[in-house]
Amino acid sequence: MAKITEIAPDLFRITTFVEPINLQFSQFLMRDDEPLLFHTGPRALFQEVKAAVASLIDPQTLRWIGFSHFESDECATVPEWQHLAPHSEVLCSLVGKMVSVDDCLALRPAKGMVNGEVLETGKYRFRFLATPHVPHCWEAGLLFEETERTLLCSDLFHQDGDVEPMTDSDVIYRCQETLVDYQQGPLANYMPYCSLTEPTLHRLAMLQPKRLATMHGSVYVGDGSKALHDLAAVWREVLSPQL
């Protein structure tokens, strides 16, 4: 059963722990005039996620389905959600809309957003941040909820394990440990390191987020700017020794 935690006013973390791979999958639901779901989760978790969403809103009223990039845990069940919520639209980068989403995922044309564009859901404002190849994929992007200063950061700050929903303790060591472990196996280089990596992380740090809502692991509550600078240093150390 998915666990639900309110991480900020009207913003809910919906999390399932998959024990065989020692990994949490989290979706984030904003309960507002135009409800927004960020991440759909993979197909295997759809029924659990749907039940959790239904405990918070009428799923048929879901208006926006957002995600960072084209990957199963980000967007696999977009068609299921769009069948369930007849007025829902996909929210993604303009690149994602043009190269993938409208052609092979969404049932209706997606809302393709450009960097800095703002979506108002009622009481809350989401700024779209184009982040190509961060965490990965050309079409990657993130959402920053400006009212409560929460960064919906996809795979950034990935932590393995069945960890607590929220923490104000430093999560950088966990992130480094996970990344080092991944580099030893078949999932090596799942975070590409390129000329865009550090500038993007430092640009995100300038937003001074109060919460970092990652898909895998605890939501960090605290100095998000420092955490993003620290993450940049970890990625440089672990992923770019050859550069």
Tell me, letter by letter, the H, E, C secondary structure of the chain: CCEEEEEECCEEEEEEEEHHHCEEEEEEEECCCCCEEECCCCHHHHHHHHHHHHCCCCHHHCCEEECCCCCHHHHCCHHHHHHHCCCCEEEEEHHHHHHHHHHHCCCCCCEEECCCCEEECCCCEEEEEECCCCCCCCCCEEEEECCCCEEECCCCCCCCCCCCCEECCCCHHHHHHHHHHHHCCCCCCCCCCCCCHHHHHHHHHCCCCCEEECCCCCEEECCHHHHHHHHHHHHHHHHCCCC
Q: How far apart are CA 39 and CA 75, in angstroms?
A: 6
Residue 242: what pLDDT? 57
Q: How far apart are CA 196 and CA 10, in angstroms?
A: 33
Which residues, 6+ apart, have CB-to-CB distance to 94 below 8 Å? 112, 113, 114
Residue 148: what pLDDT? 98
pTM: 0.97
Q: How far apart are CA 108 and CA 115, in angstroms?
A: 22
DSSP lists the bridge partners of residue 7 as none
pLDDT tens track for 208-238: 999 999 999 999 999 999 999 999 999 999 9
Of 205, 219, 105, 88, nearest in space to 152 by CA: 219
Residue position matching structure tokens 């990625």:
235
Which residues, 6+ apart, have CB-to-CB distance to 154 below 8 Å? 39, 67, 68, 69, 74, 135, 140, 142, 214, 215
Instruction: Give CA 197 to chain center in angstroms.
Output: 17
| CB of 165 closer than 8 Å to CB of 218 | yes
Q: What are phi and psi of 15, to 5 degrees?
A: -130, 135
Of 198, 203, 194, nearest in space to 127 by CA: 203
- Each residue's pLDDT expressed in tens, for the chain with a length of 243 residues: 899 999 999 999 999 999 999 999 999 999 999 999 999 999 999 999 999 999 999 999 999 999 999 999 999 999 999 999 999 999 999 999 999 999 999 999 999 999 999 999 999 999 999 999 999 999 999 999 999 999 999 999 999 999 999 999 999 999 999 999 999 999 999 899 999 999 999 999 999 999 999 999 999 999 999 999 999 999 999 998 654
Residue 121: what pLDDT? 98
List the domains of the chain with CATH numbers: 3-239 (3.60.15.10)
